[in-house]
Amino acid sequence: MKDYNDIPGTYVFDIAMSQIGYGLNKFCETLNREDGRDQFLNNEDEYLTKFNMSDEQIQAVKNRDINKLLSLGGNIYYVFKIAAVLGHSMQSVGAMMSAEGFSEKDFQQMMIKGGRPIKGNRSKKENNNG
């Protein structure tokens, strides 16, 4: 176990995750181009089969489950492209990813007020010990 696996709610994109998520991130990268966006939006099922993704990764894309995509090797920079193609703002993605179930407006207000408190968000071990 790597030290950074102890950070609550965080998936660190390291070499192991990049290997797991290669096909997923390749798919997301194609959303930079108009033809990739068009193919995804017009025939999602067929388009997703072109990138050697696992069934679990494909299902997470279909479910628009950002956290699951990150846990399956997605790089947030690339995964955000899915949300952007679907018309989601950065704040709406942050809200979707929050364990608290924030609305976009609630998430935005939390960030304006300084973000999440450090207590409870620094270490899984700290949370289990008290």
Tokens of 99: 């364990």
Three-state DSSP at 72 gives: coil
Express as a percent the part of the chain with pLDDT over 70.
86
The Cα 107–Cα 98 span in angstroms is 8
Q: Could you tell me the CATH superfamily of domain 11-87?
A: Dioxygenase LigAB, LigA subunit (1.10.700.10)
Answer yes or no: is pLDDT of 126 > 90.
no
% of the chain residues with pLDDT over 90: 51
Mean pLDDT confidence for 80-89 = 90
CA distance 100 to 107: 9
User: Which pLDDT tens digit goes with each residue over 37-71?
Assistant: 999 999 999 999 999 999 999 999 999 998 899 99
pTM of the full predicted structure?
0.78
* Total residue count of the chain as it appears in this document: 130
Q: What is the pLDDT of residue 130?
A: 43
Mean pLDDT score, 112-120: 76
Domain positions in the chain are 11-87, 88-118
What is the C-alpha to C-alpha distance for residues 45 and 69, in angstroms, rounded to an integer?
Answer: 17
Give the CA dihedral 99, 51, 29, 85, nearest 10 degrees. -60
